[in-house]
Chains A and B, each alone.
Chain A
Amino acid sequence: MTLSELAPGEIGIVKEFTDLEMSVKLMEMGCLPGESITVSRIAPLGDPMAINVSGYQLSLRKFEASTIILQ
């Protein structure tokens, strides 16, 4: 299951990434394996999404979220 499949309010734990380049950026922003992610909302037009991770809010596109595999 990937992060892009979660609905607002759902929680997931990061397991691994499918895209190396994206993973570097995501990890710098605090999305690390083992970290818990809560989806806070989806943008009005269905993309991008806003998540809560390591204590702050991050927005990312669905495509980017689909590179994050959850446990």
Chain B
Amino acid sequence: MKADIRVALVGNPNTGKSTLFNTLTGLNQKIGNFPGVTVDKKTGYSTLPDGRIAEIIDLPGTYSLYPKSQDESIVFSVLADRSNAHTPDLVVVIIDATNLKRNLLLYTQVADLKIPVIIALNMTDLSTKAGINIDIDLFAKKLGVPVVPISARKVEGIDKLKQAITFANKIALQESSIDVEAIAPQLIAQISEELKLDNPYFALQLAHQHETVKFLTPTESDRIEELEKEFSFHSQKSQATETIARYSFINDLLYDTVKIPETAKDETLSNKIDKILTHKVLGFVIFLGILLFMFQSIFAWSAYPMEKIGDLFAWVQNSLHQLLPAGPLTGLLVDGVIGGLSGVMVFIPQIAILFAFISILEDTGYMSRVTFMMDKLMRKVGLNGKSVVPLIGGFACAVPSIMSTRTIENWKDRMITIMVTPLVTCSARLPIYTLLIALVVPNRNVWWIFNMQGLALTGMYVFSLISAIVVAFAFKLILKGRERGYFIMELPVYRMPRWNNVAFSMYDRSKAFVLQAGKVIIAVSVILWVLASYGPGDRFAKIEQKYQQPQYAKQLNPDDLKRAINSEKLENSYAGVLGHVIEPAIRPLGFDWKIGIALITSFAAREVFVGTMATIYSVDGNADKIESVQKKMASAKNTQTGQPVFSLAVAFSLMMFYAFAMQCASTVAVVYRETKNWRWPAIQFAYMTVLAYAASLLAYNLLK
């Protein structure tokens, strides 16, 4: 879509910026990337009253133009880079009317960049209720900008805001807030002259941020560095001076235009809720209860849609097999591509439900209380209160959880969280655990009420959390911190969740998951399909010939014959050959070449295990029929010893392997995407494989 005007939304966190963005753009939005950084770029389109189309860019919430996290650093870059195609024609600064003072700091910074600006004064319904009296006309006059009172939640004032966008000036007419040049007169003058800048605040911001912005050439950046030394410029001192000057301007402005009642703001309800939710004992009990409910729901509610998605893909695959002529190309498309795609799609319900919960917990303000309660505990092992969210999410799926680590400002804390999140037992491990536990753990009760199989499964979940914590602690000792950790964080007032936002979050994340992870999964499943469907030399032809002999047709019915052929083909395929090649390496763990194939295929995604086992033990190739796989696996005998292949030792060794190994191409891809450096997924893959091997070896030898 071609836009006539480009509008950027800027504001503090928790000001209703996303709600306003969703209201303005509706479903007409897309997520992309800002060039060179991993920050999601949310853009959408809105039709203005005069028929023109506005492109709206939702910039990450920030308290100031001086960034404290990766997301925040994009704000200044987008606003300032005049050569860039994303440069907005107009900035809408969203200000929380119940907290004018702090919100205006960011406004004065943006205004001083001299980009045309409009103020959207949000939550005016709440501020009126709290008795805050704002003289909006005087306020607008003093700042020299249009001020539109809105309530994004109640969808009030949106038409007026659209009108204001329509009639916005092409040039910036706002009053300057502070005397920027006084902060570093010589430096600003020199930078302005050398880079031919006409805006002193832009020059000052470049002095602070020249190392992080992408639009300066290395020579320009080096020159600014030189100038800073020459004029002994101290970035933090300058920021402190600037902030104090800005607040003094804001205090003067508010003194004339706003009357705040003497009595303290009515926060008692929020306070009362906090007394219970962050209570010494109750707080943790409630938190555990919410977690339990969340997992139950993720499994319970997603079972039906997951089954339906699986059925749908099975139906599509069957129909295509019937429609298309049999041949390698059909096989590649139907079994490789569509088969791989179904592996991705089937997880959409779980991801959508997980993100619905997370966005409800965040939207209500509860998540920030959880980080508040857990920070001390998490910090001991090198994590951060904010790591709780991705770790909990890891029980469902590591992919969206790793995406949610972006809220962690501290680089080291974020990296450690990313490194250990895949250790948490995700939903893809569940079918493997249930299958193996059912094979070797007797289904009876101990101490009357505890089912042994259930206990074993719970044990695997607890074990995963403990291992994540231990590994986090190890990383804490190894990694060197780049910057100091902050935990200065707003605790927003409790609110009802905005259901629109919850729906958008479900939609956004599912879409991002399908697009990002889907590509990798399809690629890997195509490769695996090729490896499993073709063999070296003329081995396949020989198998076909062998089974065409009449004695086979007599002894076996057609279905069994087909299975026997498939089974022997698999053993002789490239995947089978690979299985034999790695057999010496995995024999100490108690695994044979068949398990070896499953291990190799599982490196694309863990859930492939059951399907591979089904194929290897020549069941109908239907991965859903776990029971029949189980029977086949139970009766499988070691050809040399005659003992069952899946003994207690082998099953637990295998579970240990799946507990630690990084068998998920989507996670590798998302870790790369989030860290923008192949080193991190490589380190993660390496340490997890080593741990997997060691834990399996230990388990096998202890239980043998």
| Interface 1/0 per residue, A13-24 and B, CB below 8 Å | 000000011111
In which size bucket is the chain B interface?
Answer: 35 or more
Which partner residue on chain A sits nearest B375 by CB separation?
A: A48
Which partner residue on chain B sits nearest A25 by CB separation?
A: B488
**A25 with B487: CB separation less than 8 A:** no
**B63 with A59: CB separation less than 8 A:** no
| Cα distance A25–B410 in the bound complex, in angstroms | 14
The answer to whether B329 has its CB under 8 Å from any CB of chain A is no
In which size bucket is the chain A interface?
Answer: 20 to 34
**A27 with B240: CB separation less than 8 A:** yes
| Interface 1/0 per residue, A34-63 and B, CB below 8 Å | 000000110111111010101111111100
| Interface 1/0 per residue, B482-501 and A, CB below 8 Å | 00101111111100000000
Q: Which residues of A contact B484 (CB under 8 A)?
A: 21
The answer to whether B280 has its CB under 8 Å from any CB of chain A is yes
A19: min CB distance to chain B, Å: 9
Q: Which residues of B contact A40 (CB under 8 A)?
A: 271, 274
In this complex, which of A20, A41, A46, A55 has the most chain B Cβ atoms within 10 angstroms of its Cβ?
A: A55
| Cα distance A3–B635 in the bound complex, in angstroms | 68
The answer to whether B669 has its CB under 8 Å from any CB of chain A is no
**B376 with A25: CB separation less than 8 A:** no
| Cα distance A68–B274 in the bound complex, in angstroms | 25
**A28 with B66: CB separation less than 8 A:** yes
Query: A60's contact among B101, B284, B368, B488, by CB below 8 Å, is which?
Result: B488
Q: Which residues of A contact B489 (CB under 8 A)?
A: 58-60
Which partner residue on chain B sits nearest A47 by CB separation?
A: B376
**B376 with A45: CB separation less than 8 A:** yes
Query: B101's contact among A43, A48, A54, A57, by CB below 8 Å, is which?
Result: A54
**A20 with B236: CB separation less than 8 A:** yes
**B491 with A25: CB separation less than 8 A:** no
Which partner residue on chain A sits nearest B377 by CB separation?
A: A45
* 10 extra interface residue pairs, beta carbon distance < 8 Å, beyond A27-B244, A29-B102, A55-B102: A21-B484, A22-B488, A23-B240, A24-B243, A41-B274, A43-B376, A55-B99, A55-B265, A57-B267, A59-B491
- 21 A-B pairs with C-beta separation under 8 A: A22-B488, A23-B240, A24-B66, A25-B68, A26-B488, A29-B488, A29-B490, A33-B244, A41-B278, A44-B279, A44-B280, A44-B284, A54-B102, A55-B99, A55-B260, A55-B265, A57-B270, A57-B491, A59-B372, A60-B489, A64-B488
Sorted nearest first, the 3 A-B pairs with minimum C-beta distance are: A57-B491, A45-B376, A30-B102
B residues sitting closer than 8 Å to A (CB atoms) are 63-64, 66, 68, 98-99, 101-102, 105, 236-237, 239-240, 243-244, 247, 260, 265, 267, 270-271, 274-275, 278-280, 283-284, 368, 372-373, 375-377, 385, 484, 486-493
